[in-house]
Structure 1
């Protein structure tokens, strides 16, 4: 793409990471979510470069041309945030603004929590910065939904080895068409639940046509990215959720100190349930530097792709205020 170049950078974590970058100036790291790649930031790379920043979007651990180890325990939040912290210095910067969408948002929030000395600002898209709870994911969901209903929650479905990666890899075109353009089917309590005997893709309806922000070329790009390595390593991120709760015990009750911004689509399934929506009003206790929660009307989960101009403008405004 015009104005975007590619190279490999050795993070101090030891991972050789593929990055897409544009521009020069203060460093802004853009972290993609599941199941994506650097490509989800194609619009913001150019916009941030035009605004005078060095915008860098890596393929994160387990994704795209970066790849990664096969072992599940190598995808903990300490590894993921460590990759980002190590990438900042490897790119020749002392500090960076770290921006993350979907799974990239928890990585951004935790990088700011673990290494505030390296992060001069943090932005999350879609996923708010939840404080560490009193229990891990499995125990929490079992308490909320009951046993065995909690196993139908999509993150619990992803705990199975082999089953979700086989489902998602069976027909890549259908997978990305449904995930990116299909309307989510939510349970009565507002959570995405895998139907009995079904799979994760059954949470989404088949789209009649692609939305105006998504092209056939975009679908084809993602299909090509996942053809070789599939979904196994990206799914390992989910398989560390209980482990992450254990590993982050030293930060229990700690707050995220750098200046922060949250951007959320009001149609995003992440905040579709009332409890999640209500929690947005209490974030300042965990993130005292939170400057704004920006709700994008009519926007779904794929925030920076659905609303590229609005997201880019919000990022530039936030950066200018640091």
Structure 2
């Protein structure tokens, strides 16, 4: 059964102090507590077309920006696509949007990596974080010989991260490449609408290079610009604020076994849920279930 029709989003445009132009989708009342929703790769802010209206029903002011490099937002003003830069954007957005101590941060994929990092940063202004599909880094680190099978499995699943290190080629075959990723990462889900939205957000070689540069920047953390240096290591830690992690049981990008490991490692302030019959893009595949879990968590921590 297809998900129910959801309200059309509003739009927001602003320029952050460090030079980044941001465009975002919005739902909910202007005077509600702030919920910032961050998308991942290869995706857009439209990935929140179900969760955004659901949170708005609870009174949240939902803002879902297009990340740096994804149109209609601008490219990175300093050329940086490091995780620290993404964390800085999220923190700066809190101030620019007039967020207060009730604000929450939700992320999927690269947005999840960002949310995890912000939740672990001393400078975090967000009261809680929700991450989807990518748990905090400590849950991804092998802990012994017993993890060898999982490490090999994930190495095979993560072939694309090495492919993205190649110069020019990923951009040249981008459309075919990302179509394959959607089908492999979320088996059985029809990504036609999402791929069309992605094509609009990454319409040319320069935009596609920006999206791929997230991966190229990841192993080059020593080159983080000074502006973001104080956040360079935050994304490697465990969030200290209340956290909900959601993972699709059939995720073809990152094994759901990492979510199980997170449940074993995490502090009591962290809740983990594996969503049955969902792949990597669980917020689109199981919008009602994901929405219910997020709304329940936010009601508990707000």
TM-score (norm 2): 0.80
Q: CA deviation at 1:36?
A: 1.2
Structure 2 portions without partners, runs of 5+: 1-5, 142-150, 224-228
Aligned-pair Cα RMSD in Å: 3.2
User: Which of these residues, 267, 283, 286, is aligned with residue 304 of structure 1?
Assistant: 283
SS at match of 1:21: strand
Deviation by residue 1:27-70 (Cα, 9 ceiling, x = unmatched): 11100000111111111111111111001100011112112138
Distance 2:202 2:236 in 1: 38
User: Which of these residues, 15, 21, 29, is aligned with residue 20 of structure 2?
Assistant: 15
2:35 — aligned with what? 28
Conserved 8 A contact 1:264-1:295:
yes
Conserved 8 A contact 1:256-1:288:
no
2:87 — aligned with what? 81
Distance change (3 Å), C-alpha of 1:252 and 1:113: closer
Q: Map residues 158-237 of structure 1 onto 2, 5 A cutoff.
A: 158-168=164-174, 172=175, 174-180=176-182, 182-183=183-184, 211=189, 214=190, 216-228=192-204, 229-237=206-214
Structure 1 portions without partners, runs of 5+: 135-143, 185-203
Q: Does 1:319 align with 2:301?
A: no
Q: Does 1:243 align with 2:220?
A: yes
Q: Which protein has greater RCO, CA pairs closer than 8 Å, 6+ apart?
A: 2
Q: CA deviation at 1:2?
A: 3.4
Distance change (3 Å), C-alpha of 1:10 and 1:218: same
Q: CA deviation at 1:133?
A: 8.7
Q: CA deviation at 1:283?
A: 3.2
Q: CA deviation at 1:111?
A: 1.1
SS at match of 1:17: strand
Count of residue pairs the alignment pairs up: 276
2:110 — aligned with what? 103
Q: CA deviation at 1:166?
A: 0.9
Deviation by residue 1:114-171 (Cα, 9 ceiling, x = unmatched): 245401000100000113999xxxxxxxxx77xxx99x83212111121111111xxx
Q: CA deviation at 1:3?
A: 4.2
Distance change (3 Å), C-alpha of 1:14 and 1:94: farther
SS at match of 1:269: coil
Q: Map residues 42-61 of structure 1 onto 2, 5 A cutoff.
A: 42-61=49-68
Distance 2:76 2:298 in 1: 34
Distance 1:298 1:251 in 2: 32
Distance change (3 Å), C-alpha of 1:119 and 1:166: same
Q: CA deviation at 1:253?
A: 8.1
Distance change (3 Å), C-alpha of 1:40 and 1:128: same
Distance change (3 Å), C-alpha of 1:222 and 1:273: closer
Segment of structure 1 superposing worse, 257-266 or 114-123 = 114-123
1:154 — aligned with what? 160
Distance 1:281 1:132 in 2: 9
Distance change (3 Å), C-alpha of 1:215 and 1:309: same
Q: CA deviation at 1:4?
A: 1.2
Q: Does 1:279 align with 2:261?
A: yes
SS at match of 2:54: helix
Distance change (3 Å), C-alpha of 1:288 and 1:298: same
Distance change (3 Å), C-alpha of 1:50 and 1:166: same
